[in-house]
């Protein structure tokens, strides 16, 4: 009896009064969730059998979810229909799957869905399988002939509106009926097979002498690729970040918490049908310098070509370039005043700011802070080229310049450097080598003007109050248009009195005077120039780097060096890139992406969702060539013009102000003193009654060999050839370079007209900056990448609120000519009496 009780005991020692024992056999379906607990051969009482087998099986089946892709649709329909067996759902016919590219894995479709699929299928059959129907290739020939006749014979303008284009084709030839619809259908499929068809069509149209605009008309509706793709012309890439903050002032903490700030990336390709693509390798010379950023090459070019030039002021050197520069007209001046106003509606800039030759590759919700961010975004570009590649293999044979700001430059350059040095181990696609980063002229101009304005704010604020009343406040970070206006007025006011003031002071080496000459005659005109002829632009980049270095502008004291290293390498080795830059400098521009962002900002509001902003960006890109909304929103011209009369008045008022400043400086000659001996010393300026950092003084005071302040020793040469000559103090034998160092002409000739003190300082800083940058570029990628540099969310954020230009210039007095003539004559008389 004892043995029998043991044999009939439940495995879980149940005290079930029924004493009914169930043996688990192989025929019992054990739930998956209980397979490790309930085993075959195990004895369970009825209670545990119900719990672990019966109930668990029921729960498992009830909670199991369906993996069918239309489960929720069917479930919803069945709830509202008692006769669930009559849902009218059918499997897609096999004849539709292959033609329409559908998924045939047992997916059912409703009647409405099948009806639409059937219509699509029949539309294709109408154009492909109907007997005696004109072939697709014949239709394309007819279409190209019509477009050619309309544009070249009848001189009609291209038609960009799809409906009008369709009506025109069908009216011209009844065989072309429904061709446009087929074009749309093929474009909508957008797979690699259709892309190859589009390339073939583009090639055919090219050989049939169809015009560029005809080919591009087809490209606009997705039918063929653009002519620039067919001819393998140059592409230039802009990649930049965009955010949906519309205000100039910094948002409050509450606004930041309640407002979603989205960060996007714009990838924009620009083309020019008149410029050939840039080869990756030419005569065994690669586009990338094997030495990386070559400081020795830069130093050699400084010594051989540029030190002599930068010894003169930019204004003085600029006089030698007049034959190569644009006319110094009122119209060009107004255009330069608005150079950082990225509004495409400004008439003076419409051609340069036009987006007609630009194509939006993508506009995505993505950050753009680290090198990995740039790599991920550039992969989108590479995939676009992979999908559209034909026999040319663009990225294998040609290079795409990337015109970007400093973060774009350094991050893309880092990716290229890591790929060159580590190959596949870097984890970076080889296609990155098809890019060559180039610093954009607008970013150089923008940063140089802002930095100069902030460094000499004490001077500009004094001038501002003199021009526009004491009560008007000049912020430390005003709008860029205000900075442009003040710099322009200062320079043009200075030009009116330049010669008479400089004759008045002679060869004075007074620190305060030399500071003002360096500012007015060198730095301001330098930052006001954007693009000139190539050799002048190259010298301008050299001077800009010297300015950034003197003003200790971190990051931008390295960006120009990368550009200079590349250009010197291309010129030395006769790479075609050097000539393309020389002959087509204006196209290497960052206007396009700034204009694109300006258009997005003008057509969106802060409350828009990320999806709405993305959709608007893509609509702007699609409509940019149409005559509809793009022109209404973007080409509706406006002219933020300041009258020529008012500019002339303000110039003379600046001249009067400068006369008064130089008069005070003249009476304070020799009274500028060093305040401390810190690493970066400060100096007391008696005229402005302020202490300034040494960076505000000319370059010479930033070197180890500062200009001599000994009244009996004019020269700064290490070994003066005329130190014992009695004629050394003759004015016509003395030269003071713009840096502030003084030489006798004979001594300067000994140094090949170069200031050896400044050359030693600049050479040392070039090497130091490039070594620091090279170390940064060779830093391996990490999982948690940190930005190489801190990037501001927006150039306009954190800027103080200031008045608009039109408000600033209200109620200006107009009668100033007599004051100017009287004071000018007074200075002239003084000069005549002096000499």
DSSP secondary structure of 258-303? HS---EEEEEEEEEEEEEEPEESEETTEESS-TTSS-HHHHHHHII
Q: Are 345 and 635 in contact (CB under 8 A)?
A: yes
φ/ψ (deg, to 5) at 282: -135, 120
φ/ψ (deg, to 5) at 236: -130, 130
d(CA 433, CA 287): 9
- Which two structure tokens, joined as six digits, stand for 643? 């009258």
- From 45, 63, 81, the end of a domain falls on 63
User: HSE of 342 in the Cβ direction (CA atoms, 13 Å)?
Assistant: 21
Q: Is residue 204 part of a domain?
A: yes
Q: Is residue 191 part of a domain?
A: yes
Residue 267 pairs with which residues in a beta bridge? 239, 362
Q: Is residue 834 part of a domain?
A: no
The dihedral formed by the CA atoms of 700, 704, 707 and 713, expressed in degrees to the nearest 10: -150
At residue 346, the pLDDT reads 33
| 131 and 225 part of one domain | yes
Residue 634, number of CB atoms within 10 A of its CB? 24
- Which two structure tokens, joined as six digits, stand for 763? 């050479």
Identify the helix (H) or strand (E) that includes residue 834. helix 817-834
Q: Is residue 111 part of a domain?
A: no
Residue 230, number of CB atoms within 10 A of its CB? 22
Q: In sequence order, what are the residues at sequence separation of 6 or more whose Cβ sits closer than 8 angstroms to the Cβ of residue 222?
A: 183, 184, 186, 187, 188, 190, 198
d(CA 655, CA 665): 15
Domain housing 59: 2-63
d(CA 367, CA 676): 44
Q: Is residue 255 part of a domain?
A: no
Q: Are 402 and 418 in contact (CB under 8 A)?
A: no
- From 197, 229, 261, the end of a domain falls on 229
At residue 793, the pLDDT reads 40
- Which two structure tokens, joined as six digits, stand for 783? 């999982």
- Which two structure tokens, joined as six digits, stand for 730? 């003759």
- Which two structure tokens, joined as six digits, stand for 176? 């072309």
d(CA 15, CA 10): 8
φ/ψ (deg, to 5) at 33: -70, -15
Q: In sequence order, what are the residues at sequence separation of 6 or more whose Cβ sits closer than 8 angstroms to the Cβ of residue 470?
A: none
What's the domain count of the chain?
2
Q: Are 322 and 594 in contact (CB under 8 A)?
A: no
d(CA 786, CA 796): 24
Q: Is residue 194 part of a domain?
A: yes
- From 63, 86, 111, the end of a domain falls on 63
SS (H, E, C) 466-499: HHHCCCCCCCCCCCHHHHHHHHHHHHHHHHHHHH
* Average pLDDT of the residues of the chain: 76
Q: In sequence order, what are the residues at sequence separation of 6 or more whose Cβ sits closer than 8 angstroms to the Cβ of residue 425?
A: none
Alpha helices in 109-191 (DSSP H): 111-128, 136-148, 162-172, 179-189
What are the residue ranges in the chain where pLDDT is below 70?
1-8, 13-19, 58-134, 160-161, 177-178, 180-231, 246-259, 321-355, 388-392, 530-532, 624-641, 710-714, 721-732, 786, 788-815, 830-835
Q: Are 461 and 474 in contact (CB under 8 A)?
A: yes
Find the angle CA(558)-CA(562)-CA(568) to the nearest 5 degrees.
135
At residue 784, the pLDDT reads 75
Phi and psi based region of residue 673 (left: phi greater than 0; alpha: psi -120 to 50; beta: remaining): beta
φ/ψ (deg, to 5) at 70: -115, 25
Largest CA distance in the chain: 143
Q: Are 595 and 338 in contact (CB under 8 A)?
A: no
At residue 481, the pLDDT reads 84
Alpha helices in 173-252 (DSSP H): 179-189, 192-207, 212-220, 227-230
Q: Is residue 94 part of a domain?
A: no
Q: Is residue 57 part of a domain?
A: yes
Buried residues in 289-324 as b, exposed as e (16+ CB within 10 A) = beebbbbebbbebbbeebbbbbbbbbbebbeeeeee
| 131 and 219 part of one domain | yes
SS (H, E, C) 574-635: CCHHHHHHHHCHHHCCCHHHHHHHHHHHHCCCCCCCHHHHHHHHHHHHHHCCCCCHHHHHHH
Q: What is the bridge-based pairing of β-strands 398-404 and 435-439? A: parallel
| 46 and 131 part of one domain | no
- Which two structure tokens, joined as six digits, stand for 449? 């003007």
d(CA 280, CA 575): 9
Place of tokens 């070249």: 152
- Which two structure tokens, joined as six digits, stand for 369? 């802070």
| 51 and 144 part of one domain | no
Place of tokens 């310049």: 401
Q: What is the full DSSP assignment across 516-583?
A: HHHIIIIIHHHHH----SHHHHHHHHHHHHHHHHHTT-TTTTTHHHHHHHHHHHHHHTT-HHHHHHHH
């Amino acid at each position: 009896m004892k043995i029998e009780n043991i044999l009939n005991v439940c495995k879980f020692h149940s005290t079930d009064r029924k004493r009914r024992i169930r043996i688990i056999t192989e025929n019992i379906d054990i739930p998956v969730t209980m397979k490790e607990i309930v085993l075959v051969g195990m004895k369970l009482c009825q209670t545990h059998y119900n719990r672990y087998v019966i109930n668990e099986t029921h729960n498992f089946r009830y909670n199991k979810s369906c993996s069918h892709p239309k489960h929720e649709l069917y479930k919803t329909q069945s709830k509202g229909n008692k006769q669930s067996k009559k849902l009218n759902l059918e499997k897609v016919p096999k004849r539709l799957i292959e033609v329409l590219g559908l998924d045939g894995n047992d997916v059912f479709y409703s009647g409405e869905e099948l009806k639409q699929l059937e219509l699509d299928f029949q539309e294709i059959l109408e154009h492909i399988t109907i007997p005696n129907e004109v072939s697709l290739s014949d239709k394309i020939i007819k279409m190209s002939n019509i477009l050619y006749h309309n544009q070249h014979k009848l001189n009609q303008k291209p038609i960009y509106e799809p409906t009008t284009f369709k009506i025109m084709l069908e009216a011209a030839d009844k065989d072309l009926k429904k061709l446009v619809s087929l074009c749309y259908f093929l474009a909508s499929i957008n797979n690699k097979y259709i892309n190859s068809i589009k390339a073939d069509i583009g090639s055919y149209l090219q050989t049939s002498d169809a015009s560029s605009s005809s080919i591009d008309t087809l490209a606009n509706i997705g039918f063929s690729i653009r002519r620039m793709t067919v001819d393998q012309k140059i592409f230039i890439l802009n990649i930049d970040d965009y955010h949906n903050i519309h205000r100039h002032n910094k948002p409050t903490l509450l606004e930041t918490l309640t407002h979603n700030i989205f960060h996007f990336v714009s990838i924009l390709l620009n083309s020019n049908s008149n410029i050939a693509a840039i080869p990756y390798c030419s005569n065994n010379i690669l586009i990338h310098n094997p030495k990386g950023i070559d400081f020795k090459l830069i130093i050699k070019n400084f010594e051989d070509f540029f030190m002599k030039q930068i010894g003169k002021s930019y204004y003085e050197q600029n006089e030698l370039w007049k034959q190569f520069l644009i006319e110094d007209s009122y119209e060009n001046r107004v255009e330069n005043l608005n150079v950082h106003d990225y509004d495409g509606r400004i008439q003076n800039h419409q051609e340069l700011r036009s987006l007609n030759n630009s194509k939006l590759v993508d506009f995505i919700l993505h950050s753009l802070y680290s090198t990995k961010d740039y790599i991920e975004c550039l992969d989108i570009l590479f995939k676009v080229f992979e999908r559209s590649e034909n026999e040319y293999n663009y990225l294998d044979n040609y290079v795409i310049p990337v015109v970007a700001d400093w973060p774009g430059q350094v991050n893309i350059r880092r990716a290229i450097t890591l790929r060159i040095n580590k190959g596949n181990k870097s984890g970076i696609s080889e296609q990155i080598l098809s890019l060559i980063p180039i610093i954009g002229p607008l970013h150089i101009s923008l940063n140089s003007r802002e930095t100069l304005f902030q460094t000499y704010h004490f001077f500009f604020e004094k001038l501002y109050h003199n021009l526009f009343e004491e009560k008007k406040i000049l912020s430390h970070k005003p709008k860029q248009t205000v900075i442009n206006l003040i710099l322009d007025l200062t320079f043009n006011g200075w030009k009116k009195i330049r010669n008479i003031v400089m004759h008045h002071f002679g060869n004075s080496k007074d620190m305060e005077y030399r500071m003002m000459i360096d500012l007015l005659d060198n730095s301001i005109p330098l930052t006001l120039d954007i693009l000139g002829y190539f050799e002048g632009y190259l010298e301008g980049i050299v001077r800009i780097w010297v300015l950034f270095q003197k003003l200790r502008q971190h990051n931008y004291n390295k960006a120009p060096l990368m550009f200079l290293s590349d250009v010197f390498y291309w010129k030395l080795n006769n790479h075609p890139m050097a000539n393309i830059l020389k002959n087509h400098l204006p196209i290497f521009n960052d206007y396009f992406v700034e204009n694109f962002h300006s258009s997005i900002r003008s057509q969106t509001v802060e409350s828009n969702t990320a999806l709405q902003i993305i959709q608007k960006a893509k609509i702007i890109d699609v409509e940019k060539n149409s005559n509809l909304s793009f022109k209404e929103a973007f080409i509706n011209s406006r002219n933020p013009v300041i009258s020529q009369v008012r500019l002339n008045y303000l110039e003379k008022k600046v001249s009067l102000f400068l006369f008064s400043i130089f008069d005070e400086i003249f009476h304070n000659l020799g009274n500028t003193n060093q305040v401390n001996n810190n690493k970066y010393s400060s100096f007391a300026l008696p005229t402005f009654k302020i202490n300034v950092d040494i960076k505000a003084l000319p370059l010479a005071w930033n070197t180890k060999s500062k200009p001599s302040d000994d009244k009996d020793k004019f020269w700064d040469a290490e070994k003066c050839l005329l130190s014992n000559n009695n004629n050394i103090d003759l004015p016509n034998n003395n030269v003071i370079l713009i840096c502030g160092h003084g030489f006798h002409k004979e001594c300067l000739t000994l140094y090949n007209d170069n200031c050896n003190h400044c050359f030693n300082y600049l050479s040392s800083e070039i090497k130091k900056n490039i070594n620091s940058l090279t170390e940064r570029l060779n830093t391996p990628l990490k999982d948690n990448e940190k930005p190489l540099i801190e990037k501001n969310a927006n150039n306009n954020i954190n800027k103080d609120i200031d008045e608009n230009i039109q408000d600033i210039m209200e109620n200006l007095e107009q009668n100033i000519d007599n004051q100017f003539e009287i004071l000018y004559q007074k200075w002239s008389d003084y000069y005549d009496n002096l000499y």
